[in-house]
């Protein structure tokens, strides 16, 4: 049994997370009310004749359950509801949730589908949905061409210079051209069809040949710029049907992860452009903003959290997401936003009004060093117990001799455990500090943020690197990465 018809023969695997699915209860006939259904989808998937079928949809890279319908004695199950479904690629999911049949839902929302799991390609039939008939024809064509290409590749065991190999490769090229021509013709005949929009998402920009580059020869900068500038050609950011397809998320991620320069200023500029283009569509704006927030709240590269701060200040604080944020999501976004606002790379590090091991007041800005490493740690934290001795080793062996300052900030664990750990592990030469309860209470009463929020300390150990003026130049790195960063800064002369 095939696990489902794969949209356009993409080499993607869709894992449908259907945990805690509860079939929609059927009211007794005596209490059922007659309502006008905005959608009504009758499904008969052989050999299923009991249990439930499920209606699900793609959203970004995930899939979500929408509805369930009991399978009657005649093998039919009908999904229906009083509110029109949002357009996109949907799935009729089997009772055991181990496979599905895809269909398109757009303007036509009252139709029937029949299929047989013994041959999901040939058996699927739609009635009352010309959109899905077009989709079904395309699926069959794509599957047939794909099979022919695979057979040719599998049989292509000839030497490269063998005429038979050349004939096979020519046939493969011809089949690919035939499939592309089919797509192109479909798009011309049905410009508003969801498939047309999906095909545009699957297209890569074609960079002009070298003789059309500046100076008449290949220019890699021109090629990159052209590709980047034309990446979204033919794709509308007000077409929210695209959100409910399995292809938008991957194209979106590739754009921000691989195509754009990986620096916050560039990412912010292109993010703003995309958000502006999607603003007329509430659903698309929600998708773009939440996808960007998720990507940059814990970014792959140091410094890109500045993108999240930009999004937080420009869109979340402005109330642009208030309509669709639930309380849990809002709390997460605002907690992280306020924490990250204060420690973007390049900003002045927040003061650390604390007490040292001798009970004396400490001020970060009175602590002089060409570089200052700040290590937030907890003596009872298992990971800290592994990493803090390593930080001390490189400090004693190298940093201390070079004048690098090391400040250890106790986050938890209790003063007694902290002092004991410092003594037993001979953490000498550090400036060890902690915050008193009195200071903590005073900051709270004055409505000022504490060090946890100022440095976004949500786990330990956490290490920051500051320059001589206490500007943040690196953060949330391992001690080895910090050492590499110090060496880089020294060689570049930027510690001055």
Q: Are both 416 and 456 inside the same structural domain? A: yes
Whether 348 is in a domain gets the answer no
The token pair at 340 is 């990250």
Q: Domain check: are 362 and 324 in the same one?
A: no
- Which of 361-365, 431-435, 487-491 bottoms out in mean pLDDT, i.e. has the lowest? 487-491
Residues 374 and 482 in one domain: yes
**CB distance 70 to 77 below 8 Å:** yes
Let me know whether 369 and 488 are in one domain. yes
In this structure, is residue 334 part of a structural domain?
yes
The answer to whether position 60 is within a domain reads yes
Residues 287 and 309 in one domain: yes
Grade residue 11 by pLDDT with cuts at 50, 70 and 90.
very low
310 shares a domain with 397: no
pLDDT tens by residue, 297-344: 989 888 899 999 999 999 999 999 999 999 999 999 999 999 898 889
Per-residue pLDDT tens over the stretch 27-65 = 444 444 545 889 999 999 999 999 999 999 998 888 999
For the cut 70, the answer to whether the pLDDT of residue 14 exceeds it is no
pLDDT digits (tens, 9 = 90+) for 238-256: 999 999 999 999 999 999 9
d(CA 68, CA 284): 26
Asked if residue 157 belongs to a domain, the reply is: yes
Residue 496's pLDDT is 45
pLDDT above 80 (res 121):
yes
Q: Which two tokens stand for residue 222?
A: 């021109």
Pick left, alpha or beta for residue 6 (phi over 0 → left; psi -120 to 50 → alpha; otherwise beta): beta
For residue 15, tell me if it sits in a domain: yes
- 202, 233, 257: which is the final residue of a domain? 202
116, β-bridge pairs: 46
For residues 123 and 114, the answer to whether their CB atoms sit within 8 Å is yes
Q: Tell me what pLDDT residue 403 has.
A: 94
Of 12-21, 86-95, 97-106, the poorest mean pLDDT is in 12-21
Assign residue 396 the CATH number of its domain. Answer: 3.40.30.10
Residues 6 or more apart from 273 whose CB is under 8 A from it?
Answer: none
Say how many domains are in the chain.
Answer: 4
Q: Which of 315, 341, 367 is the last residue of a domain?
A: 341
Q: Are residues 358 and 443 in the same domain?
A: yes
Percent of residues, the chain, with pLDDT higher than 90:
76
Same domain, 383 and 337: no
First to last CA, the chain: 68
| Residue 176, domain member (yes or no) | yes
CB atoms near residue 191 (< 10 Å): 9
Are the CB atoms for 194 and 87 separated by under 8 Å? yes
* Whether 188 and 229 share a structural domain: no
Sheet of 39-46: strands edge to edge?
76-81, 39-46, 110-116, 125-127
User: What are the tens digits of pLDDT across the range 142-191?
Assistant: 999 999 998 888 876 655 667 777 888 889 999 999 999 999 999 999 99
Last residue of a domain, one of 104, 128, 152: 128
CATH code for position 52: 2.60.40.1120
Confidence of residue 16 (pLDDT cuts 50, 70, 90): very low
Residues 382 and 472 in one domain: yes
Q: 426 with 379, same domain? A: yes
Residues 183, 92 within the same domain: no
Helix axes of 163-189 and 130-155: crossing angle, nearest 10 degrees:
170
> Do the domain assignments include residue 306?
yes
Residue 445 has a pLDDT of 86
HEC readout, the chain: CCCECCHHHCCCCCCCCCCCCCCCCCCCCCCCCCCCCCEEEEEEEECCCCCEEEEEEEECCEEEEEEEEECCCCCEEEEEECCCCCCEEEEEECCCCCCEEEEEECCCCEEEEEEECCCHHHHCEEECCHHHHHHHHHHHHHHHHHHHHHHHHHHCCCCCCCHHHHHHHHHHHHHHHHHHHHHHHHHHHCCCCHHHHHHHHHCCCCCCCHHHCHHHCCCHHHHHHHHHHCCCCCCCCCCHHHHHCCCHHHHHHHHHHHHCCCCHHHHHHHHHHHHHHHCCCHHHHHHHHHHHHHHHHCCCCCCCHHHHHHHHHHHHCCCCCCCCCCHHHHHHHHHHHHHHHCCCCCCECCCCCEEECCCCEECHHHCCCCEEEEEEECCCCHHHHHHHHHHHHHHHHHHHHHCCEEEEEECCCCHHHHHHHHHHCCCCCCEEEECCHHHHHHHHHCCCCCHHHHCCCCCCCEEEEEECCCEEEEECCCHHHHHHHHHHHHHHCCCC
Is 222 inside any structural domain?
Answer: yes
> Domain span at residue 451?
354-492
Are 337 and 309 spatial neighbours (Cβ–Cβ below 8 Å)? yes
Which pLDDT band holds residue 23 (cuts at 50, 70, 90)?
low
Asked if 407 and 367 touch (Cβ cutoff 8 Å), the reply is yes
């Amino acid at each position: 049994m095939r696990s489902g018809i794969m949209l356009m023969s993409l080499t993607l695997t869709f894992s449908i997370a259907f945990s805690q699915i509860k079939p929609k209860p059927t009211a007794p006939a005596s209490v059922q009310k007659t309502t006008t259904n905005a959608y009504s989808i009758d499904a008969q998937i052989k050999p299923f004749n009991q249990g439930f079928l499920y209606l699900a949809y793609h959203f970004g890279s995930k899939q979500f359950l929408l509805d369930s319908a009991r399978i009657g004695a005649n093998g039919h199950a009908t999904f229906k509801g009083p509110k029109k479904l949002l357009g996109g690629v949907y799935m009729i999911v089997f009772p055991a949730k181990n496979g599905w049949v895809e269909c398109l839902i757009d303007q036509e929302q009252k139709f029937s589908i029949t299929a047989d799991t013994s041959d999901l390609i040939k058996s699927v039939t739609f009635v009352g949905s010309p959109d899905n008939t077009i989709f079904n024809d395309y699926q069959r064509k794509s599957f047939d061409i794909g099979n022919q290409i695979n057979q040719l590749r599998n049989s292509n065991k000839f030497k490269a210079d063998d005429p038979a190999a050349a004939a096979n490769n020519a046939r493969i090229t011809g089949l690919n051209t035939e499939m592309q021509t089919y797509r192109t013709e479909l798009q011309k005949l049905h410009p508003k069809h969801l498939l047309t929009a999906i095909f545009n998402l699957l297209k890569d920009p074609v960079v002009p040949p070298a003789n059309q580059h500046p100076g008449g020869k290949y220019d890699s900068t021109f090629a990159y710029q052209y590709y980047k500038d034309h990446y979204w050609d033919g794709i509308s950011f007000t077409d929210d049907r695209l959100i409910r397809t399995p292809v938008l998320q991957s194209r979106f991620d590739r754009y921000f992860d691989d195509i754009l320069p990986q620096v916050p200023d560039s990412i912010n500029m292109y993010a703003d452009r995309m958000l502006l283009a999607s603003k007329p569509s509430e659903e698309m704006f929600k998708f773009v903003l939440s996808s960007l927030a998720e990507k940059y709240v814990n970014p792959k590269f140091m410094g890109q959290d500045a993108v999240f701060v930009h999004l937080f200040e420009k869109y979340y604080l402005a109330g642009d997401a208030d309509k669709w944020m639930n309380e849990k999501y809002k709390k997460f976004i605002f907690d992280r936003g306020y924490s990250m606002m204060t420690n973007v790379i390049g900003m002045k590090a927040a003061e650390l009004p604390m007490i040292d091991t001798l009970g004396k007041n400490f001020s970060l800005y009175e602590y002089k060093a060409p570089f200052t490493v700040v290590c937030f740690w907890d003596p009872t934290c298992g990971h800290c117990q592994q990493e803090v001795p390593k930080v001390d080793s490189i400090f004693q062996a190298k940093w201390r001799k070079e004048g690098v300052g090391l400040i250890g900030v106790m986050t938890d664990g209790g003063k007694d455990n902290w002092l004991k750990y410092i003594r037993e592990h001979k953490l000498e030469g550090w400036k060890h500090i902690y915050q008193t309860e009195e200071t903590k209470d005073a900051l709270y009463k004055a409505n000022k943020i504490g060090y946890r929020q100022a440095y976004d300390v949500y786990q330990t150990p956490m290490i920051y690197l500051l320059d001589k003026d206490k500007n943040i130049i690196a953060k949330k790195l391992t001690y080895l990465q910090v050492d590499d960063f110090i060496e880089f800064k020294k060689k570049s002369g930027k510690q001055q």
